[in-house]
Structure 1
Amino acid sequence: MSQEIDIDPNAYTLPFSLTKTIRRDPYPAILPSNPSNSQAGKIILITGGGTGIGSSAARVWAHASALGIIILGRRIEPLEETALQIRAINAETKVLVIKTDVSIDDEVKHVFQQTHKVFGRGPDVVLLCAAVLEPSRLVHEMGTDEWWGYMAINSKGVYSCIHHYINTQSNPAHPTGTIVVMNSASTSILDIQHPANGIGKLSAQRLVEFVDASYPTLRIFSLLPGLVATPSQQPQNLPYARDDPAMSGMLTLYLSQARADYLRGSTMSVNWDVEELEQFQKEIREKNLLKLSWIPILPIGGGKGLAM
C-alpha cells in the first residue's frame, strides 16, 4: 500500500523570501482592480505572450484597462487564443499579435517598428517573458551550437529587445519607459544539468544592472516569478509550484509606478510583500541589497592577506 508523503509547499520558497509575509496568491496591493494599479492610457509589449506567465500577464493588463497590449511569440495559435481572451476581458484594449522569434534580431527590430506604426508610439512597458529551459544535460553532453541556441533566447533575446526599445525612441541617449525582465532563482545556484539556462538568466540579470547604470531616465527591473506550474516546469518541482501565474503580471503593475523606483536595477520576487518591502526601501537602495555582487571577499584593499 502506497503511503503519501507530506511535503512543505514552501520548502523552496522560504529560503528566497525577503519579507516575513510570503505571497503566493494575488493580494489587494497588486490587484488590477486596485485603482492605484490602473494602466489606462498605457501600452505594454510582452514577449512569450502566448502561453504561461506572459499570457497571464496580458490578461492582467487587460483587467487593468491598458490602452494597448502587444504580444509576441514563436507560435501564432496560442497568441491568437490569448488575444481572444484579452478582448473578452476588455473590448476597449487594442491588441496587436506579432509572430516573433526574439533570438532573431531583425524580427525584434520589426516588432518595435510595427508598434510605432500601429499605435503611433512605442510601448510604455516592456515585459520580457520569452525563455526556454533546455533538457537536463551536463556540459559534455550538450553541443556548442545547441547551448548557444538556448543562450540566443535567454540572453541575446533580452538584449535585442532592450536595444531596439531604446533605439526606436526619439532620444535613444535618454530613453524613458519601464522594462521588466523575467528571471529565475536558478541563477543563484549551480544547477549543473542546465548550463544554458543558469548562465543565460544570470547574464540577463547583470544586463539589467548595466542598463540601469547607463540610462538614468529608463526604469528597468529583474523579476522572479516564483514556482509556477507551467508546462516547462521540471516535474520534481511541481509539488512546490504553488505560485499563481498571474502574480508576475500584477507585479508589473506595481513596478510601472514611481513608488517602485527604489527597486530600479534590482531583482524583485512575486513572493515578497510589496508594502512590507517599501518599509526598507532606503536601505535597499543605498546598500544595493538586491543587486549582484562579485566574489564576496574581493576587493579587499590589496596585499593584506586573508588574515587581515
Structure 2
Amino acid sequence: MAAQESHPFVPKTATPAFIVPFVKTMYRVPYPAISPLRPELSQAGKNVMVTGGGAGIGFAISRAFVRAKASRIIITGRRENMLMEALATLNTLAAEHSPDTVITYSVSDFASLEDTERLWTKLKADGIFVDVLVLNAAVAGPIGTLLQSGVRAIWETFEVNVRGLLDYTEWFSKQEWDKQKYIVNLSTSAAHAFDLDVPHIAAYGITKNAGTLVMQRIAQDVDPKKIQIINYHPGGILTHAARSVGLDESSGEWDDENLPGHWAVWGATDEAKFLHGRYVCAWWDVDELKNGEAAKRIEKEFNFLRVGIVGLTQYES
C-alpha cells in the first residue's frame, strides 16, 4: 500500500473548475490572513495531532503548528525513519520559534483499528488530550478503473480513506475532556471533479468523496462549539504521492506546500467556524470567504460547498 499522506494530484493550472465565481482572490503561496504567526491564530495551550505528519503536506502542516506555538504536536505515520527525521527538523524549528513546544511521534498504521486503539489508549493513560486533529493520512489506491483494480485493492483504499477517518474521529470525540475540539480534514479535488484529465485512480476519487461525506455528516451531527469540522482541498502539491502516479515538475505549476500548512492552522481556530461541515479550497482567500458572496451563500444555502448530487437543491418547506 502506498505511503499515507494526502494526495492532491493535479496542479492548479490543470483545474479550471476551481476558478469559482464566488471567490475572486486566489493564492498559491501563504499570505498574511492565514499566517501561523498571527496572534489570533495562536495554538498556545493546544495539543495537536497530525496524521501522516512526517512527510509532504502533513510535514508542512506540522511545521506551521510549530510556528503557531502549539503546546504539543504529535505526528503519526507508518515509517519510523521518516518520523524520526521529521522530528529532528521540527525540534530545530521549535528551538527557534517555540521552545516550549513538545514534539513526539507515534508509529501507527492509519488503516489499522488495532494501531489506532493502542495510540488513543496510550494518550489517555498518559493524560494527553488532543485539542486539534488534522486528518491528513491517505493512500492513492490502485492505478486503474474500478473494474480493473479488483475489489481487494479497492476495499483497502476504503479502509484508509474512509474507515480511518471515522475511526480517528470517534476516538477523538470520546476524549473525556469538556473542551472545544477542532478537526481539519484534507480532502481533494478528486473527490468531486471527476471529469479532470488525471491518471486512472478511480478508487482514490470515490474514497476521498466518501471520506469527505463522512466528515460532513459527522459535522452535521455535532455542535461546532464542541467539535468544529472542516474539509479542505490543499491545492496542487508535488508530493511523493503525486510523483508515484507519474507527475513531475513538468506536469504544471504546483503550489507552495506551506499554503495548506498555514491554512490548517487557520482552519483550527474560531475564525473558521462559519465553514463547519463545508468543503473549501486552500486557494480561496479566507477574508473573501468570510465577507463576500460565499459567506452569503453559506448562510442561506444548506447544500452550498457540501458533497451531494449536482443539480439538486434542498427542498423548500
Does the alignment reach a TM-score above 0.5? yes
Render the CA deviation track for 1:159-180: whole Å, top value 9, x for unaligned. Answer: 1111111123347xxx840111
Deviation at residue 115 of structure 1 after TM alignment: 2.5
In 1: Cα distance, 2:65 partner to 2:253 partner: 23
* Mean Cα deviation higher: 28-37 or 202-211: 28-37
In 2: Cα distance, 1:107 partner to 1:101 partner: 6
Conserved 8 A contact 1:263-1:285: no
Q: Is the counterpart of residue 104 in structure 1 residue 118 in structure 2?
A: no
Q: Is the counterpart of residue 49 in structure 1 residue 37 in structure 2?
A: no
Provide the residue aligned with 1:210 in structure 2: 217
Q: Is the counterpart of residue 146 in structure 1 residue 157 in structure 2?
A: no
**Equivalent of 1:285 in 299, 305, 312:** 299
Conserved 8 A contact 2:27-2:285: yes
Secondary structure, in 3 states, of the residue corresponding to 1:46? strand
> Relative to 1, partners in 2 of residues 1:299 and 1:278: Cα closer, same or farther, differing over 3 Å?
closer
Render the CA deviation track for 1:235-258: whole Å, top value 9, x for unaligned. Answer: 347432521112222112211221
- What are the equivalent positions in structure 2 for 1:129-278 lying under 5 Å apart? 129-170=136-177, 176-190=180-194, 193-216=200-223, 217-233=226-242, 234-236=245-247, 238=249, 239-278=251-290
Q: Compare CA radii of gyration and give the structure with the larger one.
A: 1
Identity %, equivalent residues: 26
Deviation at residue 59 of structure 1 after TM alignment: 0.9
* Mean Cα deviation higher: 262-271 or 182-191: 182-191
In 2: Cα distance, 1:261 partner to 1:226 partner: 21
Tell me the amino acid that sits aligned with residue 273 of structure 1: D
Provide the residue aligned with 2:19 in structure 1: 17
- What are the equivalent positions in structure 2 for 1:112-123 lying under 5 Å apart? 112-118=120-126, 120-123=127-130
In 2: Cα distance, 1:170 partner to 1:64 partner: 23
> Relative to 1, partners in 2 of residues 1:78 and 1:26: Cα closer, same or farther, differing over 3 Å?
same
Tell me the amino acid that sits aligned with residue 197 of structure 1: Y
* Mean Cα deviation higher: 87-96 or 124-133: 87-96
Secondary structure, in 3 states, of the residue corresponding to 1:80? helix
Structure 2 unmatched runs, 5+: 1-10
Deviation at residue 213 of structure 1 after TM alignment: 1.2
Conserved 8 A contact 1:224-1:268: yes
Provide the residue aligned with 1:296 in structure 2: 311
Secondary structure, in 3 states, of the residue corresponding to 2:241? coil
Provide TM-score, normalisation by structure 2: 0.84
Q: Is the counterpart of residue 95 in structure 1 residue 103 in structure 2?
A: yes
Conserved 8 A contact 2:142-2:154: no
Secondary structure, in 3 states, of the residue corresponding to 1:262? helix
Q: Which of the pair has the greater relative contact order for Cα pairs under 8 Å at 6+ separation?
A: 2
Render the CA deviation track for 1:27-67: whole Å, top value 9, x for unaligned. Answer: 11111222222111111101111110111111111111110
In 1: Cα distance, 2:156 partner to 2:269 partner: 35
> Relative to 1, partners in 2 of residues 1:75 and 1:241: Cα closer, same or farther, differing over 3 Å?
farther
Deviation at residue 150 of structure 1 after TM alignment: 1.4
* Mean Cα deviation higher: 289-298 or 106-115: 289-298
Secondary structure, in 3 states, of the residue corresponding to 1:232? helix
> Relative to 1, partners in 2 of residues 1:166 and 1:299: Cα closer, same or farther, differing over 3 Å?
closer
Conserved 8 A contact 1:17-1:271: no
Q: Is the counterpart of residue 79 in structure 1 residue 83 in structure 2?
A: yes
Deviation at residue 117 of structure 1 after TM alignment: 3.5
How many residue pairs were aligned?
289
Tell me the amino acid that sits aligned with residue 292 of structure 1: V
Conserved 8 A contact 2:277-2:306: yes
